Each structure stands twice: as structure tokens, then as C-alpha cells.
């Protein structure tokens, strides 16, 4: 049982950049739908997705599963492998953004600020999906260089340029 849980609650390293960019595209689209329809309940789906990806990679994430099990195979299984820890950090940043947006929307009752936060998230997701620039990964590299994240968390990451 412990081995099963360890397998479920693990994050892939390396990560297929193609799948990560597809997930980012789905996040971008869903975020725009939320902003333009004011259907804030869908923000809960975003929070769940980010939480699932932080804890399990694509294993329990609907978007992650669609990307890895449906779209990537349809595309002929293209692969571009990149380091996993920066991607996990980026998913954590997405989780924070969506959680803060929910607090503003539902607790503070300030949907405008919530939408601005979601707009920033959409911008980052678009940059990842369309340009391959992962802002979270970029920051991860700096956090290693500044000593905030120990180099041994991802020795390969310390030498990557994002």
C-alpha cells in the first residue's frame, strides 16, 4: 500500500515539455472562460488541477491526464524532456495564484481583484503554452542561484537557462 501511495504521490522527473505546454494551454483557455463568463465556480477546478499536479504530476489531474494520455499520443508521442522540480514549483505558483483569486472572489467579495489575479495566471499560462517560457521555472533557477532552494534539489536545474 505504501508503495502504491508513493507511486501516486510523486512528481515526474524529467517532465515531457510537450504535455506541460498542453496543460498550460488548457489552463489559459479555462482561465479566460472564467474571466469572460464570471463563472467563478470553475476556479475550484483550476485549484484542484494545480493541487493534483503539485502532489501527483498528471496522475490525478484531469488536464494532466488529457494531455499525457490523449493529446500527446494523438500527436504521435512527441517528447522534449525537461527537469521536473521547476515544473512542480510552477504548478505550486499556479496553486497559490488560483487560491488567492478564490479568496478575493468568495471571501473578500472582490471579483475584480480575483479576475486580475486570474489574468496574470492566464498570461503566464499563455507564455508557457505558446512560447515555451515557464515563468515559475525561470524563478526556480534564480531561487537556486540565490540559495533559497538548495542546489541538490535539482543539480541539473542549477545549470539550466530558462
Question: What's the pLDDT tens digit per position in 72-119?
Answer: 999 999 999 999 999 999 999 999 999 999 999 999 999 999 999 999
Extents of the domains making up the chain: 15-137
Question: Around Cβ 30, how many Cβ atoms within 10 Å?
Answer: 20
| Confidence category of residue 29, pLDDT binned at 50, 70, 90 | very high
10-22 pLDDT, tens digit per residue, is 788 899 999 999 9
Q: 126 with 30: CB under 8 angstroms?
A: no
HSE (side-chain half, CA atoms, 13 Å) at 25: 13
pLDDT (0 to 100) of residue 162: 43
All three cell numbers of 57, joined, read 504530476
The 3-state DSSP class for residue 15 equals strand
Give yes or no for a contact between 63 and 91, defined as CB atoms under 8 angstroms apart: no
User: What is the pLDDT averaged over residues 42-52?
Assistant: 97
**What pTM did the predictor assign?**
0.91
Report the C-alpha gap between 62 and 31 in whole angstroms.
15
Amino acid at each position: 500500500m505504501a508503495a502504491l501511495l508513493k507511486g501516486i504521490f510523486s512528481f515526474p522527473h524529467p517532465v515531457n515539455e510537450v504535455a506541460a505546454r498542453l496543460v498550460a494551454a488548457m489552463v489559459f483557455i479555462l482561465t479566460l472562460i472564467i474571466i469572460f463568463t464570471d463563472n467563478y465556480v470553475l476556479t475550484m477546478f483550476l485549484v484542484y488541477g494545480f493541487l493534483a499536479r503539485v502532489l501527483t504530476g498528471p496522475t490525478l489531474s484531469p488536464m494532466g491526464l488529457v494531455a499525457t494520455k490523449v493529446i500527446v499520443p494523438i500527436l504521435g508521442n512527441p517528447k522534449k524532456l525537461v527537469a521536473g522540480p521547476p515544473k512542480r514549483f510552477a504548478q505550486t505558483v499556479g496553486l497559490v495564484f488560483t487560491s488567492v483569486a478564490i479568496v478575493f472572489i468568495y471571501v473578500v467579495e472582490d471579483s475584480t481583484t480575483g479576475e486580475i489575479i486570474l489574468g496574470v495566471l492566464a498570461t503566464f499560462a499563455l507564455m508557457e503554452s505558446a512560447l515555451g517560457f515557464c515563468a515559475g521555472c525561470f524563478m526556480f533557477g534564480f531561487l537556486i542561484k540565490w540559495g533559497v532552494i538548495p542546489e541538490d534539489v535539482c543539480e541539473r536545474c542549477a545549470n539550466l537557462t530558462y
